[in-house]
Amino acid sequence: MPTGTCPECEADVHVDTDADKGETVDCEECGVHLEVVGLDPVELDIVEEEDLDDDDDDDEF
Ligand SMILES: [Zn+2]
């Protein structure tokens, strides 16, 4: 099983054998969401999440 390195905590992150670029995986160590940006070798990039639950700035009607 291929592994990439988490940019956040540098842990080994297991990627599905048939994973494709653009798929997302979660780091088992720090829980950050990672996007597969390369396959040979496996490269991972942190996915920035914009709509977090603890953001109370935008009130919806
Ligand atoms: Zn991590």
> What's the pLDDT band for 49 if we cut at 50, 70, 90?
confident
pLDDT in tens, 15-43: 999 999 999 999 999 999 999 999 999 99
Q: Residue 14 above 70 pLDDT?
A: yes
Distance (Å) from CA 8 to ligand 1 centroid: 5
* Predicted local distance difference test score (pLDDT) of residue 43: 96
Whether the full predicted model's pTM is greater than 0.85, yes or no, is no
Q: Residue 54 above 70 pLDDT?
A: no
Distance (Å) from CA 53 to ligand 1 centroid: 21
DSSP 5: E
In whole angstroms, give the CA distance from residue 55 to residue 4: 31
Report every protein residue that has its C-beta within 5 angstroms of ion ligand 1. 6, 8-9, 11, 27, 29-30
Distance (Å) from CA 42 to ligand 1 centroid: 15
Range 3-46: architecture per CATH: Single Sheet (2.20)
- Alpha helices by DSSP H, listed for 1-61, are none
